[in-house]
Every structure is written in structure tokens, then in C-alpha cells.
Amino acid sequence: MINPMGGIDFPCIATELHLTETHLLMNAAEFFQQSAGQWRSLRTTHHLAFRRTEKGESEISVEALAADHPKVIEICQLHQIDPTTAIGGAFVQWAGTMAWDKNEDENHTGSTVFALVPDDGAHRRGKMLRERGYAEIVPVVGQFHMDDQDGLILVTEYETMSSVERFWFASPSLRLRTSTVKRFGGFSTATFCTEFRVDPDTQLSDAEATPSSEFYSLLGW
Amino acid sequence: MINPMGGIDFPCIATELHLTETHLLMNAAEFFQQSAGQWRSLRTTHHLAFRRTEKGESEISVEALAADHPKVIEICQLHQIDPTTAIGGAFVQWAGTMAWDKNEDENHTGSTVFALVPDDGAHRRGKMLRERGYAEIVPVVGQFHMDDQDGLILVTEYETMSSVERFWFASPSLRLRTSTVKRFGGFSTATFCTEFRVDPDTQLSDAEATPSSEFYSLLGW
């Protein structure tokens, strides 16, 4: 695998993951340990009914929590689940903006804590418990599982909507996320986030980069 | 699975796929048979060095080709591969625009044909052969495999760049695609396409829809 200098300095381990079936499989706690740190997120939402695109940026901080962290224990107790069955969790903080039609700007800042409670011995599927979801008062439970490429799938059902999300690492410093949301049974949005690790030692210089020609798939478009 | 009326009329089979391991697995030819038809694509490219977003729209037409189609045989011969090992292919046409910085508009119209030559008995991994890639004179070969959620992964190596793409169906009428591109070993772009089937019987009315509140992940941001 040739990995010469150039472009952006993202460590590169990615391509092999997709074609090798014998790579080490991560459990969900390891996935969040790998997520720990500071990230910058570029987010695009496709509103399917309007065929329009909304974009935003945010800064994200992720702290992995051990299985015996008081917050993890507290969330398990909130959900009436034995805390000794948890394998860990995470504390996430974010700050960012989403613009609708570029006329209205809104700041979104917040934090949340969640806990992972696997259903299986490999700790690759189970429940993700959270204090409460966005605009929800009741505690929220999602179902997670790790797929065969170590992507994390998270399915969350709310009263009138449901979401399917997939998170994966293209490299240790580049995390991607897609989500589709259904409201009342119909797809309403599809979202894509590109999250890159903020490294204080590496300042990206726009001046050094020039627009690269557009990439087209082998499939053409 | 509740699937009431409302939102956009996309048939819904999606959520279960992600949590069920015993669903029927598609082979690559079936994936392209399911792709056949007219699609409208919303595309967003995140340019990582610039932290900027470029968007575009295109119309796509996909025709699945049988294994014994003359075009499939011709492409196999071009690559000096026994045509009887092919399981089919596709003829793809597209027309669309990509805007850079909204100042320059460029029309992109084209068509391509490719053939699928599996390496395995299940027809779930192998080579995707194409006449030639974008801005390439030599024929192009990509490696494909179907993952455990019936997503199609396509890895293509060019001289100075490589791409990893994943295509999947959220429903029979909603196909999603992500791709990451490395140039000279560094990630340069991450792209997301939302492709929905164009159904002449169903006209989406923007007037009927109102902006829905933003969805936030169980993870918060």
C-alpha cells in the first residue's frame, strides 16, 4: 500500500479495511475509545421533499467513559438496567451552526452522556442508553450493532420518527456518518457528516491547496 | 413495522435490513437490477482541505444488462477476461450540473457501460470492468464486494488516486452513496449522494411540504 506524502495529513489505514475479512473486529466500546478527542464536523442534510440541501459545521468533543464511571452507572439506573452489564459510554459536547436558507442562523450547543449495554458476548450489538433525546423528556434507547467493516449502525425509534445511522472510520483521523430519518413512515432527510480530528500541531493552510478536479465514480456520475 | 401514509411516498423496507442478519443476501447483479430505472441524485462533496461544500444535482438512468449482452462481452474481451465468467452489467447515462462556488456552472453529461466478473460462487465479490474511467484512456478495473447489509463496496485504484465507495438502498426507491477519494495518499474529498427514483405517477409537491425540525442523533450532534 503506497502512502506517500501529500494532500492532507490524515493517517491512512482505510482502504484495506474494506476488502479484508480477517481484520480485527472492534467492539462498540472500542469504537468510542477511537472516537475520543476533538473533531470538526462538516454536515450536509438533504431534505428529500424539497430536494434542497442544508449545511453546517460544528466542533465536537468526545470523552470515552469507563464501564464503572458514575455517569454510566447513573444512566443504567435511569433505565432500570443492571449497571454491571454496561461496557462503557461517552460524554459528548458540541457547538455549531446550522443555516436554513442562509437567512436564519441558529447556534446549537449542548452535551450528552450515553452508556453501552451489549446483548452479545462480543459486545458488538446491544442497547445504547441516553438520558433523553432531542426534544424528548423520556429517556431514549437506541439499538446498535457493528457491521462487518467495523461501522457502527445505530437505530433509534421515537414516537413519530425513526433514524438509521452509520458511523465509520475512513482513517483514525477521519470519521464519517450517514443518517436517514423517517417521519410518519416516510423518509424526510438524509444526512452526511465528515468529521476530522482537530490536531493542534497541524494547521491546514488553504493557501497551499488548490481545487482538485472533480472525482467521478467508476460508475460514471 | 408500521408504515402509515405521510411524508414522501418511498416504499419502506429499510430499517429491518440493518438489524437482521438472516435477510436474503443480494449478489452484485441483483444490486444493479434493483438499480434499474430513472433516478434523481442530490450530491454533496466535502472538500476536506478547504472545509467547503460543493453541491449538485443530476438525472441518472440505469439499465441492467444480462450476462450475454454484446456490450458485456465486448468489455470482457477488452480486459482479456473470459466473457462466460461475467454475471451481467449495466448501462448508465447521466446529465447534471456541479457548481463550484456558484460562479461557474458546468454541464456534465455522459454514459458508460460496465461488466461484473465475480471471484466467488455467491457472486458477492469480484471485479467491475469498465471501458475507461474519467479522464483515463486505459480501461478501468474496480474491486467490488457486497457487505453484510447488502451495501455494495467499490474500491478503485488509479495512478495517483484511489476511491472507496459504498452504495446501499434505504428502500427500493431511495439509494444512497458515499465515497472517499485519496490523492497521493491523502484524503481529498468525501461525497454523499441521495438518489431517489423518479416515478412519473408521483409528483412531489413542494407546496404540500413544510420544513421539518432538524433531526439530532441520539449522540447529540
Nearest residue of B to residue A60 by CA position?
Answer: B221
pLDDT at B172 over 80: yes
Q: What is the mean pLDDT of residues B30-58?
A: 92
Q: Is residue A114 over pLDDT 50?
A: yes
Q: Does B115 touch chain A (CB under 8 A)?
A: no
pLDDT band per the 50, 70, 90 thresholds, residue B13: very low
Of A2-16, B77-91, B157-171, which gets the smallest average pLDDT?
Answer: A2-16
Would the pLDDT of A178 be above 70?
yes
Q: Which chain A residues touch B47 with a CB distance below 8 Å?
A: 211-212
Is B198 within 8 Å of chain A by CB?
no
Cα B58 → chain centroid? 13
Contact between chains at B4 and A184 (C-beta distance less than 8 A): yes
Residues of B in contact with A179 (CB under 8 A): 215, 217
Helix (H, G, I), strand (E, B) or coil at B186: strand
Grid cell of A122 as nine digits: 462480543
Q: How far apart are CA B109 and CA B58, in angstroms?
A: 9
Cα–Cα–Cα angle for A63, A159, A76, nearest 5°? 40
**Count of beta carbons in the 10 Å neighbourhood of residue B181:** 25
Helix (H) or strand (E) holding A142: strand A140-146
| Partner-chain contact B154 A218, CB within 8 Å | yes
Of residues B6, B133, B221, nearest to A185 (C-beta): B6
pTM: 0.78
Residue A12 has pLDDT above 90, yes or no: no
- Report whether pLDDT(A34) > 60: yes
Query: Residue A51: CA atoms inside 13 Å, Cβ hemisphere, count?
Result: 17
- CA B27, CA A6: separation in Å to the nearest integer? 37
Pairwise CB contact (< 8 Å): B8 & A60: no
> Confidence class of residue A149 from pLDDT cuts 50, 70 and 90?
very high
Cα–Cα distance between B114 and B141 in angstroms, integer? 9
Q: How large a percentage of chain B has pLDDT more than 90?
A: 54
Q: Please, which pLDDT band fits residue A200 given cuts at 50, 70 and 90?
A: low
Is the CB of residue B142 less than 8 Å from the CB of residue B154?
Answer: yes
Q: Quick check: A186 and B147 CB within 8 A?
A: no
Task: Tell me which fold the domain B24-45+54-193 belongs to.
Answer: Lipocalin (2.40.128)
A136 interfaces chain B, CB cutoff of 8 Å: no
Task: Tell me the residues of chain A between 13 and 52 that have a Cβ less than 8 Å away from chain B.
Answer: 14-15, 18-19, 40-42, 44-51
Query: DSSP letter string over A82-137?
Result: -GGG--EEEEEEEEEEEEETTTEEEEEEEEEEEEEEESSTTS-EEEEEES--TT-S
CB contact under 8 A, B46 and A42: yes
Which position has the higher pLDDT, A125 or A185?
A125
Name the minimum distance, in Å, from the CA of B76 to any CA of chain A: 16
By CA distance, what is A8's nearest residue in B?
Answer: B186
pLDDT at A176 (0 to 100)? 96
Report pLDDT digits (tens) over B83-132: 999 999 999 998 876 544 344 445 578 888 899 999 999 999 999 998 76
The helix/strand/coil state of A141 is strand
| Closest alpha carbon within chain A to B51 | A42
Cβ proximity of A111 and A94 under 8 Å: yes
Q: Is A157 within 8 Å of B1 (Cβ atoms)? A: no
Cβ within 8 Å, pair B216-A133: yes
Residue B57: pLDDT above 70? yes
pLDDT over 70, % of chain B: 71
**SS3 of residue B173 by DSSP:** coil
Distance CA B175, CA B169 (A): 4
pLDDT at B209: 40
Please, which residues 67-86 of chain B have a Cβ atom closer than 8 Å to chain A? none
Q: How many CB pairs under 8 A join A and B?
A: 281
Taking the C-alpha atoms of residue A59 and residue A95, their distance in angstroms, rounded to an integer, is: 5
Q: What is the CA A147 to chain-centroid distance, rounded?
A: 14
pLDDT of residue A199: 72
Contact (Cβ atoms closer than 8 angstroms) between residue B220 and residue A112:
yes
CA B143, B146, B147: angle at the middle one, nearest 5?
120
Asked which of A22-26, B49-53, B100-104 is least confident by mean pLDDT, the reply is: B100-104
Residue A27: predicted pLDDT: 94
Question: What is the 3-state composition of chain A as percent helix, strand, coil, each rounded to the nearest 5?
Answer: 15, 50, 40
In chain A, what residues touch B221 (CB-CB under 8 Å)? Answer: 41, 58, 60, 92, 94, 96, 108, 110
pLDDT at B180: 95
CA distance A22 to chain B (A): 14
Q: Which residues of B touch A63 (CB under 8 A)?
A: none
pLDDT (0 to 100) of residue A18: 41
Q: What percent of chain A is predicted at pLDDT more than 90?
A: 54
Confidence of residue A105 (pLDDT cuts 50, 70, 90): very low
> In this predicted model, what pLDDT tens digit does every residue of A38-85 receive, in sequence order?
999 999 999 988 888 998 899 999 999 999 999 999 999 989 999 999
First to last CA, chain B: 27
The highest-level CATH class for domain A22-200 is mainly beta
pLDDT of residue A52: 87
pLDDT of the residue at A44 = 94
* Residue ranges with strand state E in chain B: 37-47, 52-65, 88-100, 104-118, 125-130, 140-146, 152-157, 161-171, 174-183, 186-197
Q: Are B108 and B136 in contact (CB under 8 A)?
A: no
Judge: B188–A7 Cβ closer than 8 Å, yes or no: yes
Which amino acid does the sequence have at B8?
I
Higher pLDDT, A53 or B215: A53
Q: Comparing C-alpha atoms, which of B73, B168, B23, B29 is closest to residue A151?
A: B168
A212–B55 CB contact, under 8 Å? no
What is the structure's pLDDT at B220? 60
Domains in chain A: boundaries: 22-200
What is the model's pLDDT at position B18? Answer: 41
Instruction: Report the residue from B42, B140, B216 with minimal CB separation from A46.
Output: B42
pLDDT value at residue B9: 34
The per-residue pLDDT for B21 is 43
Query: Across residues B3-16, what is the average pLDDT?
Result: 35
Query: Of A59-63, B42-46, B52-56, B208-212, which gets the smallest average pLDDT?
Result: B208-212
Coil, strand or helix: which one is B131?
coil
Mean residue pLDDT across chain A: 79
Is it the case that residue A132 has pLDDT exceeding 80? no
